């Protein structure tokens, strides 16, 4: 499967969030693998910035909807 252009940025964003929250280095890779698509959706929707910080006025609901849409599309490509 090809990766999206936003994947590397979203993975870096997820890593920043993990480190900021004090997650151990040993746990970061697994967490990022499971959550980078959520980070990508939040970034694409304007809910979070590239540092993984919430944007004032960002719409969390729109971010969640973007994540749902993203995973629905990915799920269709896997079958």
pLDDT at residue number 2: 45
Tell me the per-residue pLDDT of 13-71, one tens digit each, with 9 for 90 and over: 999 999 999 999 999 999 999 999 999 999 989 999 999 898 988 788 888 888 888 88
What is the DSSP code string of 32-71? HHHHHHHHHHHHHHTSB-TTSPBPTT--HHHHHHHHHHHH
Residue ranges covered by each domain of the chain: 7-78
Q: Which two tokens stand for residue 59?
A: 């719409």
Global pTM reads: 0.77
Cα 30 from chain centroid (whole Å): 13
The more confidently predicted of residues 68 and 79 is 68
pLDDT at residue number 71: 84
């Amino acid at each position: 499967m090809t990766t999206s252009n936003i994947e590397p940025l979203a993975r870096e964003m997820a890593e920043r969030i993990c480190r900021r929250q004090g997650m151990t280095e040993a746990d970061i890779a697994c967490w990022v693998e499971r959550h980078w698509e959520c980070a990508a959706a939040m970034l694409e929707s304007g809910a979070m910035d590239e540092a993984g910080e919430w944007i004032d006025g960002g719409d969390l609901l729109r971010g969640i909807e973007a994540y749902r849409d993203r995973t629905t599309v990915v799920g269709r490509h896997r079958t």
